[in-house]
A and B are shown apart, each in its own frame.
Chain A
Amino acid sequence: TKCVHLPPEVTATSRHYVDRLFDPDPQKVLQGVIDMKNAVIGNNKQKANLIVLGAVPRLLYLLQQGSSSSELRAECAVVLGSLAMGTENNIKSLVDCHIIPALLQGLLCPDLIFIEACLRCLRTVFISPVTPVQLLYTDPTVIPHLMSLLSRSQRTQEYITQIFSHCCKTPEHQTVLFNHGAIQNIAPLLISPSYKVRMQALKCFSVLAYENTQVSMTLVNVLVDEELLSQVFVRMMQRDQPIDMQLTAAKCLTYMCRAGAIRTDDSCIVLKTLPCLVRMCSKERLLEERVEGAETLAYLMEPDVELQRIASVTDHLVAMLADYFKYPSSVSAITDIKRVRHWTLLIEPSQQHTTLHTTLDHDLKHAHELRQAAFKLYASLGSNDEDIRKKITETENMMDRIVSGLSESSVKVRLAAVRCLHSLSRSVQQLRTSFHDHAVWKPLMKLLQNAPDEVLVMASSTLCNLLLEFSPSKEPILESGVIELLCSLTQSDSPALRVNGIWALMNMAFQADQKVKGEIVRALGTEQLFRLLSDPDSNVLMKTLGLLRNLLSTRPHIDQVMSSHGKQIMQAVTLILEGEHSIEVKEQTLCILANIADGNTAKELIMTNDDILQKIKYYMAHSNVKLQLAATFCISNLIWNEEDGSQERQDKLRELGFVDILHKLTQASDPNLCDRAKTAMQQYLA
């Protein structure tokens, strides 16, 4: 199906190579394979030709044939390895020819040279992004066999660990490798005399430990040549070690720390891993290293404020990160041109144009990667400490950069920028000052219109903070018609988005005027409101109750809302109080009742509902003080003296036995409850 047009003379030479593989004389076949090996080295065109002409199945046949000499089989594996070194298309063709099972089968042969050639080829195939990693795990005998081959030679060690580190992509893969003794088998390789082996072993540990408590907990107790593994990693982070090794060792320790295997105040984290990662962010490092360094550092300190504080003063990190936004700079543009010129020496003129484009794409990608990494790190740095947030926002053009980051084409950058904004939005001071000055709400609102869920979660969460009542951005956001948007979020399948939507609405309704509240109720619709009250996510339920409570504040608002939606609200309240819910949910619900009891006309909805009154009575005698307090508060509102009809209500409630309960509560050990009950009793005495 491939459309390949080959010049006839090229095809002729290549065909000759393939034809020789079919010679009846095994000696000539061997010579043919060796000649083919020499012809394909470094020649992508030749590789493509041979693949198209069907060399691969024949080579695989020869490789698998028991009658082939071990020399021939090894040479076949070498040629296949060479073909794999070409383009991604080559790899695809090889995988389509079922090269992987054939080579894995070849590993059972006792001949070490053949095994090494097979592994080398497998390595090249597996590290390609086009190869499905699952192919390594299809046959359950493969992993244990690879483990056993680790002892054969430095080459087998290098190739196998490299295969592992590229094929360990999921927690399941981690578990499979772990269960087959990956740690015990690979740990000794960390002190191998070969740098390549040490490096690949280290990479294995970094992928094994990532977000894996079981692996991490095992790793901390492993000894390599009587030295703790963490100390081996610390040595690998020494400043005279190759950067790749320092960075990967820092990753291992980071993952072990995040998995809880190493304390965040351990000196190997504070004095070694963290400074090492900060160094990786320096201008002297390569772009990829700076990106990985920043991302790993962000991950390391995310949950720990003390690490955030230390990082914020280490080697001017906050200022150093500002450089991430200066790529591609005028200086790098010059070096890039040089790089392009350099490349042109190696390629045919017709390809120059594409190479230039590739280089520019490459740079653009790097620029995106750098920016998103910086945003991530800023987000992590500023997630807890007010002083650090101040330091970040005072960095040159920081707010402008975030604002423009929010509307970048790359989703990754947008996500990181909004994360950063979210982190900074936890600061009351920043909400009041820089956030307002830079009108961050505008790009944020734009971002919310059409974005992937993960961006939406962050953006809406940030919006929640911008809608806090002291935020000067609240007004303009309200005027921009955000309510519809938030209401649509509450209908999302993602619990995080539903929470953020309803949370933002809750914040918006806090001390809002009647118009806004009316709009919220109208836009959300009672049906949706009650659907949210039965949401399986307790966070959603809590925030919805919070919204209700905010809607039901100040007497006129209470009466108005209750007059239009009283029936449904009372139903919902009843259901929640009867259902299996947490104390917090019930408390919040009782508080809503207390608010309702504060209305003028709304009171009657409770007074006429004996079921609800019985429930209030029940909660006044509950073992939880918070619930008792909320229920008492409700009763207190109902019997308040200065209001119309208070006498009748007092009488009715006395009949229902509330006075006795109040009387008991005046003896309560909790002083708040005791006071509340006494205040309520006074209403009767007055």
Chain B
Amino acid sequence: DITPLSISLSPCINPKMAELGAGSLLLGDPAFNYQEAELNERLKRLYPAVNEDETPLPRSWSPKDKYSYIGLSQNNLRVHYKGHGKNHKDAASVRATHPIPAACGIYYFEVKIVSKGLDFLSSLLPLSPIPGWDKHSYGYHGDDGHSFCSSGTGQPYGPTFTTGDVIGCCVNLINNTCFYTKNGISLGVAFTDLPPNLYPTVGLQTPGEIVDANFGQQPFVFDIEDYMSEWRAKIHGMIARFPIGERLGEWQAVLQNMVSTYLVHHGYCATATAFARATETLIQEDQTSIKNRQRIQKLVLAGRVGEAIEATQQLYPGLLEHNPNLLFMLKCRQFVEMVNGTDSEVRCFSIRSPKSQDSYPGSPSLSPRHGATNPNLHSAGADSPTCSNGVTPPNKNKSHNKYPGVSSASSSSSSSPSSVNYSESNSTDSTKSQPHSGTSNQEETSDSEMEIEAEHYTNGVAENPSARIMNGTYKHQEILQAQDISLGNGVAEDSCASRQLCGGNQAATERMIQFGRELQGLNEQLCREYGKNVTHKKMLQDAFSLLAYSDPWNCPVGQQLDPMQRENICSALNSAILESQNLPKQPPLMLALGQATECVQLMARVRSGSCSFARVDNFLH
């Protein structure tokens, strides 16, 4: 029953692949598909900075952009000459399907001379209509070893080449030069000051001439990756040695501020305080506020969204009323957590004594009852490392697409007092986070406990749309995954047992359905006030779809139940709180990272090749 659904909903098929397959009419050939996958992988490795949606890489010769004397075969990689070859007028050329993207940084392709006629030339040609090809072209002739550049007269350049030789052409888009290779040996710079948007091209002039192109389909004879590594090292060195001059102190202050604000933003209270003490800097936000936010975040990440909403309303009155979109998102999440059985509104039903719910918020001291609630606290604690698993999963983009409204939600305009209010209980946490309520001893313990937990979900919290770039650091992933495994055992047992709708409790299910109706009501109310909202509708649909499956965790929309999905809403709520306190909704560190990432992408668009080796994630450890 899953299969038909998964097809309609799964975005797993790479659209690029499909497009290519369709274009080359050979989709059915499994060997070809395998080659194609290998090519994609190799190109991705060679040119990681290239966004092929914007600037596709050359993958074959273009059947459209060629002279009629040119014949193409073998997936448009083999070129043969079929003209008369009597004089220079019979020369013919073919260019690749796409120009070389600047974001390659360094681009390379090879041509093997399968059979040599009398004359052969390999060249690079700029973007221009076919009749004008001969102008502004750059090439290397096989018969005399000369290079030609824009004009008809050649310059002595390299050796001649013939049947069996592999000639490579490397375009350096950082310094706009080009060199050729022969059988894996670099022949030295042939051209400087190359214009942008060049196409790989070959020209032939003699009957019987056959050449095969290699745009990455095969390993290259020349070690281009070694050449790239030199430029990568050069550019990294340039960045590392960027002169600061007299501004050293200024930079240090900026960096300290960035670290401090980052810690504060995510509510790492003790760390932030310790850092401020060590660097003799000031924290803008007061401790209570930081701890409040930390507490709310913990609740969201533990799946206790109802409590989080409540705490927010209590601590930041009017915040959610001014952010109806955010409230709606929270409520949707709450519904999902109800299905999950993690929200306190449904969880209370599965606790043996319903009274315990009432009893523990009231008990200020360590009561035996309190011990009974401990497992819950523990599982909450254990949940956060699970969600902290800040690995960017391959399907992460998908989830972002599903909930694109994070920032728009928080920025959307005013009012509509929340119609749903489930004030049932104060959790122990609220007492805990009151800085003056406990003894100093208790506070210290709770503080350190928080720090430990904070450690766990560091990365996870950073995992929000703007901070996507933050992750991708592999060491962390390994550590987190290792933790995941060790902690996961307990969680898995836990969730296996409770892997029933609303924890398998009838009353809870009823509460959930009732809540669903209220949510539907909220949606209708929002529609009336602000007009239809497609995002909301989709969110609601997805959430309700969970009920359509007997096993919601293993259904096409089951991904919503993944604790990792809490992270977006968590950071959205955190940002909204900060904004309401007139604090930046994003930490400057993330802004700086985002800006650097944007800059690098912009560099690619303005054809600055060094962007290829200045990728932000190279500098994140």
Residues of A that sit less than 8 Å from B by CB: 238-240, 270-272, 274-275, 310, 313-317
Contacts and interface: CB of A to CB of B under 8 A. Distances in A.
Contacts of B449: none
B280 interface: no
Nearest to B229: A240
A523 to B, nearest CB: 48
A314 B188 contact: yes
A236 to B, nearest CB: 12
Contact of A316 (B189, B227, B230): B189
Looking at B187, B189, B226, which has the most chain A CB atoms within 10 Å of its CB? B226
Contacts of B226: 238-239
A453 to B, nearest CB: 39
Contacts of B159: 313
A314 to B, nearest CB: 5
B184 A239 contact: no
A240 B230 contact: yes
Contact of B185 (A239, A240, A310): A310
B234 to A, nearest CB: 9
A633 B186 CA distance: 57
A547 B186 CA distance: 48
B539 to A, nearest CB: 48
A275 B185 contact: yes
A275 B224 CA distance: 13
A239 B229 contact: yes
B524 interface: no
B45 to A, nearest CB: 16
Interface of B is mostly: mixed
12 contacts: A239-B226, A240-B230, A271-B185, A271-B223, A274-B185, A275-B185, A310-B185, A313-B187, A314-B187, A315-B179, A315-B187, A316-B187
Contact of B186 (A238, A270, A315): A315
Interface of B: 158-159, 179, 182, 184-189, 223, 226-227, 229-230, 232-233
A272 B223 CA distance: 9
B182 to A, nearest CB: 7
Nearest to B234: A240
A358 to B, nearest CB: 29
Nearest to A278: B186
A270 B159 CA distance: 17
A313 B185 CA distance: 8
A315 B179 CA distance: 9
Nearest to B190: A316
A306 B186 CA distance: 16
A533 to B, nearest CB: 49
Nearest to A246: B230
A314 B185 contact: yes
A313 B158 contact: yes
Contact of A238 (B182, B184, B229): B229
A430 B189 CA distance: 29
A317 B158 CA distance: 11
A239 B233 contact: yes
Nearest to A316: B188
Interface of A is mostly: helix
A585 B230 CA distance: 58
Among B159, B188, B189, B229, residue most surrounded by chain A Cβ atoms (within 10 Å): B188
B10 to A, nearest CB: 40
Contacts of B189: 316
A271 B233 CA distance: 21
Contacts of B187: 313-316
A317 B189 CA distance: 11
B158 A240 contact: no
Contacts of A238: 226, 229
A310 B229 CA distance: 23
- Among A238, A240, A315, A316, max chain B CB count under 10 A is at A240
A275 B230 contact: no
Contacts of B186: 275, 314-315
A271 B223 CA distance: 8
A44 B383 CA distance: 65
Contacts of A315: 179, 186-188
Given A272-B223, A313-B185, A315-B186, 13 more contacts: A239-B229, A239-B233, A240-B230, A240-B232, A271-B185, A275-B185, A313-B159, A314-B185, A314-B186, A315-B188, A316-B188, A316-B189, A317-B188
Contacts of B158: 313
Contacts of B223: 271-272
A275 B188 CA distance: 11
A275 B185 CA distance: 7
B184 A271 contact: yes
A275 B189 CA distance: 14
Contacts of A317: 188
A310 B183 CA distance: 10
Nearest to A239: B230
Nearest to A242: B233
A255 to B, nearest CB: 22
Q: Which residue, B185, B227, B233, has most C-beta atoms of chain A within 10 A?
A: B185
A235 to B, nearest CB: 10
B440 to A, nearest CB: 45
A310 B188 CA distance: 12
Nearest to A391: B156
Contacts of B179: 315
Contacts of B232: 240
A313 B182 contact: yes
A310 B189 CA distance: 16
Nearest to B230: A239
Give the 5 A-B residue pairs with the shortest CB-CB distance, closest first. Answer: A239-B230, A316-B188, A240-B233, A240-B229, A315-B188
A315 B186 CA distance: 6
A316 B184 CA distance: 15
A394 B107 CA distance: 33
A466 to B, nearest CB: 29
Nearest to B232: A240
Contacts of B184: 270-271
Contacts of A316: 187-189
A310 B223 CA distance: 16
Nearest to A394: B156
Nearest to A271: B184
Nearest to A314: B185
A501 B285 CA distance: 94
A270 B185 CA distance: 8
Nearest to B233: A240
Contacts of A239: 226-227, 229-230, 233
A112 B179 CA distance: 54
Nearest to B182: A313
B161 to A, nearest CB: 11
B310 to A, nearest CB: 53
A450 B444 CA distance: 91
Contacts of A272: 223
From A239, A270, A274, A317, name the one whose CB has the most chain B CB atoms within 10 angstroms.
Answer: A239
Contacts of A310: 185
A274 B223 CA distance: 13
A314 B184 CA distance: 10
B158 to A, nearest CB: 6
Nearest to B236: A240
A282 to B, nearest CB: 10
Contacts of A313: 158-159, 182, 185, 187
A273 to B, nearest CB: 12
Nearest to A282: B188
Contacts of A275: 185-186
Nearest to A237: B226
A419 B179 CA distance: 32
Nearest to B145: A313
A315 B159 CA distance: 12
A239 B159 CA distance: 25
A641 B232 CA distance: 86
Contacts of B233: 239-240
Contacts of A270: 184-185
Nearest to A315: B188
A238 B229 CA distance: 8
Contacts of B229: 238-240
